[in-house]
Structure 1
Amino acid sequence: MSRTDRAGRVIAAPPATVYAALLDRESVEAWLPPDGMRGRIERWDPRPGGGFRMVLTHLDPTGDPGKTSGATDVVEVGFAELVPPQRVVQRAVFEAEDPAYAGTMTLTWRLAAVTEGTEVTVTATDVPPGIDRADHEAGIASSLAHLAFHVETAG
């Protein structure tokens, strides 16, 4: 059975600014890793059919081991759909030997103009069963908080 996880927040910036941060390599490397992780992008191709490869390193892997190795999560992300400045659809596959992390998770980032800036909602579908729902939703919320900080303090 497929699972869907969600998170959202309002970011005090216009949709075009938020959208640009979703497709800029340095920006994604800065804001995407959730609390307790750092990220490094190894490949970047921001177009439909393109994508990126990111290595996420757990700063303290003792309580939260990685999916790929003891300290890392490696994820291949493809850009399935880019609709500026309203939506980015990604397909993410973790490199992991454990079948609980197998499969392709779809992440849909929706951006809607609101009085305060941009309402960003992230919907993750077909989440692998090995990913704890509460941890995943907290991780998405953490990434959204980093995205907000990144775009609200830029410039």
Structure 2
Amino acid sequence: MSRTDMATRVIAAPPDRVYDALVDPDALTVWLPPDGMSGRFERFEPWSGGSYRLILTYADASAAPGKATADSDIVEARFVELVPGVRVVQAVDFVSDDPSYAGTMTMTWEVVATDHGAEVRFRADDVPAGISAEDHAAGLASSLANLAAYLEA
């Protein structure tokens, strides 16, 4: 059964600046990893049809073991659509031997202008069953809080 998870947050920054943080690998490594994780890109090609490989490493793997190794998640993703200033759509696969993480998740980040900056809307469709709804919601909220801190500083 497919699942959709969503999260939103208003960021006190211009929409174009928010969008730029969605497609800049240096910015992404600062704000995208949820609390307790760090990230690094092995490849990053920010254009439609381009791809990236992201390694997310847990600071304490005993609390949340990784999907790919004992302390890491590996994400293979492809950019499906990039609409400057508006939307980033990605097809995401987790590298894992565990079948509960199999399948392609579609992640859509939308940026909508508001009177107070930009609302960032995140939608994940076809979330793998191995990712708990509670953990995913916490991770999304953490990433959005990190994005706000990064852009509002």
Q: TM-score range by the shorter chain?
A: over 0.9
What residue number does 1:116 align with? 116
- Tell me the number of residue pairs that the alignment of Structure 1 and Structure 2 aligns: 153
Q: How far apart are residue 11 of structure 1 and its match?
A: 0.2
What residue number does 1:52 align with? 52
AA matched with 1:117 = G
What residue number does 2:87 align with? 87
Separation in structure 2 between the aligned mates of residue 83 and residue 51 of structure 1, nearest angstrom: 16
What residue number does 1:40 align with? 40
AA matched with 1:4 = T
Give TM-score, length-normalised by structure 1.
Answer: 0.97
What residue number does 1:105 align with? 105
Separation in structure 2 between the aligned mates of residue 33 and residue 22 of structure 1, nearest angstrom: 13
Separation in structure 2 between the aligned mates of residue 63 and residue 146 of structure 1, nearest angstrom: 21
Separation in structure 2 between the aligned mates of residue 139 and residue 67 of structure 1, nearest angstrom: 15
Separation in structure 1 between the aligned mates of residue 19 and residue 48 of structure 2, nearest angstrom: 14
Which whole-Å deviations, capped at 9, do the CAs of 1:99-125 have from their partners, x for residues lacking one? 000010001101100011000010000
AA matched with 1:94 = F
The Cα RMSD (Å) is 0.7
Separation in structure 2 between the aligned mates of residue 152 and residue 63 of structure 1, nearest angstrom: 30
Which whole-Å deviations, capped at 9, do the CAs of 1:18-60 have from their partners, x for residues lacking one? 0001111100111110001000111011000002111000100
AA matched with 2:66 = G
Structure 2, unmatched stretches of 5+, are none
* Deviating 4+ runs (over 3 angstroms): none
Separation in structure 1 between the aligned mates of residue 84 and residue 40 of structure 2, nearest angstrom: 25
AA matched with 1:13 = A
What residue number does 1:76 align with? 76
Identity %: 55
Separation in structure 2 between the aligned mates of residue 72 and residue 23 of structure 1, nearest angstrom: 22
